[in-house]
Amino acid sequence: MKVAVLKGGRSLERGVSLRSAARVEDALGRLGHEAVSLEAGGELVERLAAERPDVAFVAMHGIGGEDGTVQELLEILGVPFTGPGVAACVRCIDKSLSKHELRAAGVPTADWFAFNETAFRELGAADALVGLEERLGFPLVVKPSRGGSALGVKFAEGAADVPAALVSAFSYDSRVLLERYVEGRELAVGVVGEEPLPVVEAIPLSGNGYDFEARYEIGRTSFVCPAAIGEGEAAAVTETALAAYRALGCAGFSRVDLILGDDGPQVLEVNAIPGLTDTSLLPQAAEAAGMSFERLVERILELALAPTAA
Amino acid sequence: MPDPPHRRRAHARGSDLERYAGLFAARTQVMRSSAMRDLMAVTARPEVISLAGGLPDTSTFPPQTFAAQMTRIAQESAAEALQYGPTEGFRETVDCIVEVMGAEGMLPDPEDVIVTTGGQQAIDLLCKTLVDPGDAVICEAPTYPGAIPVFCSYQADTIQVECDAEGMRIEELEAALERLDGEGRRPKFVYSVPTFQNPAGVTMSLQRRRRLVELARARELLVVEDNPYGLLRFGGEPLPPLYQLDGGDFVIYVGTFSKILSPGIRLGWMVAPPPVMDKVVLGKQASDLCTSTLTQYFLREHFAEGGWREYVESVAGIYRSRRDAMLAALARHFPAGATWTEPQGGLFVWATLPSYIDTGDLLAKALREDVAFVPGQSAYVDERGRNSMRLNFSAGDEEEIREGVRRIGKVIAEQVELYGALTGERPVAPEPRAAEESPNVVPFRKAEGE
């Protein structure tokens, strides 16, 4: 089978994408498929038309690759592709939109307010901040609505921290979230097709839970899979993750990030196309479930080509 | 013919990762955030105007000269140039080094010189020779961003002493030394780039140079003087290097041909007292046996032609115009409340923005405008520097510099305006200023009580 591996792009997660793609290409080679590496750029459509692949493996993260843009293009060109469809990508990339969808579906997610830059620049939204801060309480988390990495995510311990945190978050997106900070264990659940993988726990080593940049980083965070939580808790977490996956219309594979606090699990975000590098969480969870990386890639391809897939 | 087999290594599986994880040395765990690394990776896109790198401009080196020199080596010394060389470097290379140091008033004993693979290796070898895990190393704040990973990989306890327009603040250094005394600790060395500092662009005053050298003598403290830019002076009188003031007892000197000839030849050097040098030579032997002989032959040819100083002067002239272009563009495009240094040489300007701007986040915004700089955080081991940035003026031409600064100014202005809207603080209207006034060209930190 001829598989076009789409990678790169201009997103800030370009580096992760290139590493994911390299690993996928290796696996495809070992599986006996013909992998065609396609850098997302000005010649993408032309290359796709020339190569006529049987399926496209989208190994792109962040804006441009994970937000429905590339997926829409592939739909127009009639090339089947891996991972969630256009609508799910659009919902997942925008945390504000996905939180609305999750709420509507009854999936627990922390309280939040979202603002457009225009609201502050032109509508005087700054005056509304005080009330919101009171309702959410401190500390709160300020983050760009779109974007998959820890960049631009800041803690605000008090009202004085909020304006600078907003300026930082607005550096990445024109919409930002102020979110209630939920204390708890940080978990992630990968889903392949409709099958949940074992729960992964990320434990920061530095002891500074406020250091977002240390998150998901080898050496500064340790990962435990399956997470050392009770069976009942694991079931609740998995059920919540699946509910989130379905509520956002995900298909193929995705990863749901959650916090397990005193009130049970709460969904932080859903990554439509999670990293597939050798340090990424979803492949590690698959491995823990006895699914090799090759098998994972094969399964993701099957799902992309299944007639029921979106 | 069939395609050659796929040669790239098979990537690690999740289970392998766990296996490797148990093998990594503790020193690998002190790395920078991967988020910042990914951000910096994006700066390499070809359409980005990068004011981030520290690249000298090698485009004016005449290709014919290069070809003739390399041809001569091939015809006359092929076997030797392709062979291993002495660990300390060739005597002819050391002669070139003595000549370069002589141009700045230094007279090193050739026996005290070792040729290294760039100045970077000299820093690495010094740490390898002197630093055990947990040992204190003192450097400037901000310091050369490339030195931090070296200090970290030897697990040094890096202490940063604030700089101002006159370089490292010696009284703060003394205070740091007192603190260490109190803990019964002795720092292994003080690392300084006293002339046209990377990243701040400032130069240590003569008075402070003298005090630093006195302090080194009184306390038997090693000072590492890293001087890549001393000959790239745009104006004013040169100041004596620390090495010259000290005579080489307590000052270890690090130099490089990267900025005065080529970084691609990877030729640097170190001058150290014999007991230190003995250990450094052993360390160098273990690291790479010897520095490239081929490029040492090239250096010899280049110096034999006698025009090396003219070449340095021509490059300095180019950089002077580019610095002028950058300072003028900063005055025009950066907002009120921003300050920057005015370097008299070297490659860098250090700009500091209002405290609420995080230059790491600003970089993400700037990259959407296809322009890049180094966030100030890279020059610190702690949380300082988050509202500063390093801007390079050697790599791009004047038009690129003007356009790059304009784009950065634009994203800063957007953040300033947004902050104003968020806090109700009306930003000071950026008045167009004439370059000659440039009221913002001030030290990035005023010395107190001096």
Query: What ipTM does this complex have?
Result: 0.82
Looking at residues A178-187, what average pLDDT do you find?
92
Question: What percent of chain A is predicted at pLDDT more than 90?
Answer: 71
What is the fold, at CATH topology level, of the domain defined by A91-107+184-305?
A: D-amino Acid Aminotransferase; Chain A, domain 1 (3.30.470)
Instruction: Kindly state whether B37 is in contact with chain A, defined as any CB-CB distance less than 8 angstroms.
Output: yes
Q: What integer pLDDT is reported at residue A210 of this predicted model? A: 52
Q: How confident is the model at residue B37 (pLDDT cuts 50, 70, 90)?
A: low
Q: Name beta bridge partners: A142.
A: A154, A178
C-alpha A64/C-alpha B173 separation (Å) is 49
Between the alpha carbon of residue B340 and those of residues A12, B49, B329, the distances in Å are 28, 20, 12
**What stretch of H or E contains B256?**
strand B251-256
CA-closest candidate to residue B91, choices B262, B299, B393: B299
Above 60 in pLDDT, residue B7?
Answer: no
C-alpha B221/C-alpha B176 separation (Å) is 13
- Read off the amino acid at residue B203: T
Mean pLDDT across chain A, nearest whole number?
A: 90
What is the fold, at CATH topology level, of the domain defined by A2-82?
A: Rossmann fold (3.40.50)
Reported as a single tens digit per residue, the pLDDT across B110-125 is: 999 999 999 999 999 9
C-alpha A209/C-alpha A212 separation (Å) is 7
CA-closest candidate to residue A181, choices A115, A226, A136: A136
CA-closest candidate to residue A121, choices B416, B414, B421, B365: B421
Q: What integer pLDDT is reported at residue A206 of this predicted model? A: 64
C-alpha B407/C-alpha B430 separation (Å) is 15
Residue of B18, B34, B412 to mutate, interface with A, max A Cβ within 10 Å: B34
CA atoms within 13 A on the CB side of A62: 25
C-alpha A271/C-alpha B70 separation (Å) is 54
Is A275 considered catalytic here? yes
Q: Which residues of A touch B39 (CB under 8 A)?
A: 12, 151
What is the fold, at CATH topology level, of the domain defined by A112-180?
A: Dna Ligase; domain 1 (3.30.1490)
C-alpha B261/C-alpha B228 separation (Å) is 11
Is A72 considered catalytic here? no
Looking at residues A194-220, what average pLDDT do you find?
71
Q: How confident is the model at residue B16 (pLDDT cuts 50, 70, 90)?
A: very low
C-alpha B241/C-alpha B393 separation (Å) is 24
Contact (CB, 8 A) for B164 and B444? yes
The verdict on a CB contact (< 8 Å) between A166 and B422 is: yes
The verdict on a CB contact (< 8 Å) between A213 and B21 is: no
Q: What integer pLDDT is reported at residue A196 of this predicted model? A: 97
Is A149 considered catalytic here? yes
Catalytic-labelled residue, pool A8, A13, A91, A146 = A13
Reported as a single tens digit per residue, the pLDDT across B241-292 is: 999 999 999 999 999 999 999 999 999 999 999 999 999 999 999 999 999 9
Above 60 in pLDDT, residue B164?
Answer: yes
Mean pLDDT across chain B, nearest whole number?
A: 89
Contact (CB, 8 A) for A168 and B358? yes
**Higher confidence at residue B14 or residue B98?**
B98
Q: How confident is the model at residue B15 (pLDDT cuts 50, 70, 90)?
A: very low
C-alpha B113/C-alpha A192 separation (Å) is 61
Is A67 considered catalytic here? no
Between the alpha carbon of residue B65 and those of residues A21, A187, B60, B298, B302, the distances in Å are 44, 62, 11, 11, 9
CA-closest candidate to residue A173, choices A143, A129, A215, A150: A143
Above 80 in pLDDT, residue B132?
Answer: yes
Above 90 in pLDDT, residue B330?
Answer: yes
**DSSP three-state, residue B167:** strand
Above 90 in pLDDT, residue B362?
Answer: yes
> Of B37-41, B144-148, B326-330, where does mean pLDDT reach its minimum?
B37-41
Is A13 considered catalytic here? yes
Looking at residues B163-173, what average pLDDT do you find?
96
Looking at residues A274-296, what average pLDDT do you find?
92
Looking at residues B386-413, what average pLDDT do you find?
97
CA-closest candidate to residue B224, choices B242, B209, B205, B206: B242
Minimum CA–CA partner of B16 in chain A = A278
**Higher confidence at residue B265 or residue A205?**
B265
- State the smallest CA–CA distance between residue B80 and chain A in angstroms: 41
**What stretch of H or E contains B268?**
strand B268-271
Whether the domain at A2-82 and the domain at A112-180 fall into the same CATH topology: no
State the DSSP code for B217. Answer: H
Go through the domains of chain B in sequence order and give each one's CATH number. Answer: 34-57+311-423 (3.90.1150.10), 87-304 (3.40.640.10)
Q: What integer pLDDT is reported at residue A10 of this predicted model? A: 81
Q: What integer pLDDT is reported at residue A124 of this predicted model? A: 77
Above 70 in pLDDT, residue B445?
Answer: no
Q: Find the CB nearest A22 among B11, B13, B33.
A: B11
Reported as a single tens digit per residue, the pLDDT across B39-74 is: 777 777 788 999 998 899 999 899 999 999 999 999
State the DSSP code for B335. Answer: P
Phi, psi of B340 (to 5 degrees): -155, 160
Question: What percent of chain B is predicted at pLDDT more than 90?
Answer: 79
CA-closest candidate to residue A249, choices A95, A60, A90, A127: A90
Angle, helices B34-42/B359-368, rounded to nearest 10 degrees: 30
Q: What integer pLDDT is reported at residue B424 of this predicted model? A: 78
Between the alpha carbon of residue A294 and those of residues A20, A55, A273, A290, B211, the distances in Å are 13, 16, 17, 11, 64
Length of chain B: 450
- State the smallest CA–CA distance between residue B302 and chain A in angstroms: 40
Strand stretches in B97-228, DSSP E: 113-116, 136-141, 157-164, 167-168, 189-192, 223-226
Between the alpha carbon of residue A268 and those of residues A129, A189, A244, A283, the distances in Å are 22, 12, 10, 20
Q: How confident is the model at residue B11 (pLDDT cuts 50, 70, 90)?
A: very low
- State the smallest CA–CA distance between residue B38 and chain A in angstroms: 6
Above 70 in pLDDT, residue B2?
Answer: no
State the DSSP code for B280. Answer: H
Minimum CA–CA partner of A41 in chain B = B45
**Higher confidence at residue B113 or residue B433?**
B113
Above 50 in pLDDT, residue A147?
Answer: yes
Q: What integer pLDDT is reported at residue A221 of this predicted model? A: 74
C-alpha A42/C-alpha B238 separation (Å) is 51
Minimum CA–CA partner of A163 in chain B = B422
Looking at residues A233-261, what average pLDDT do you find?
96
Question: What percent of chain A is predicted at pLDDT more than 70?
Answer: 94
Above 70 in pLDDT, residue A171?
Answer: yes
Above 50 in pLDDT, residue A280?
Answer: yes
Q: How confident is the model at residue B198 (pLDDT cuts 50, 70, 90)?
A: very high
- Read off the amino acid at residue A290: G
Reported as a single tens digit per residue, the pLDDT across A59-99 is: 999 888 899 999 999 999 999 999 999 999 999 999 999 99
What B129-133 contacts at long range (C-beta under 8 Å, 24+ apart), as own/partner pairs, is B129/B276, B129/B279, B129/B280, B129/B283, B130/B188, B130/B189, B130/B222, B130/B276, B131/B155, B131/B156, B131/B188, B133/B26, B133/B27
Q: Find the CB nearest A284 among B14, B31, B35.
A: B14
Looking at residues A207-222, what average pLDDT do you find?
57
Residue of B6, B8, B16, B17 to mutate, interface with A, max A Cβ within 10 Å: B17
C-alpha B163/C-alpha B447 separation (Å) is 9
Retrieve residue B122's tokens.
């000299």
Q: How confident is the model at residue B5 (pLDDT cuts 50, 70, 90)?
A: very low
Catalytic-labelled residue, pool A145, A149, A254, A280 = A149
Q: How confident is the model at residue B6 (pLDDT cuts 50, 70, 90)?
A: very low
State the DSSP code for B112. Answer: G
The verdict on a CB contact (< 8 Å) between A120 and B423 is: no
State the DSSP code for B345. Answer: B
Q: Which residues of A touch B424 (CB under 8 A)?
A: 126
Looking at residues B214-225, what average pLDDT do you find?
96
Q: What integer pLDDT is reported at residue A129 of this predicted model? A: 83
Catalytic-labelled residue, pool A216, A249, A252, A280 = A216
Q: Find the CB nearest B13 among A166, A219, A293.
A: A293
Q: What residue ranges do the domains of chain A occupy? A: 2-82, 91-107+184-305, 112-180
Between the alpha carbon of residue B44 and those of residues A11, A171, A229, the distances in Å are 13, 20, 43
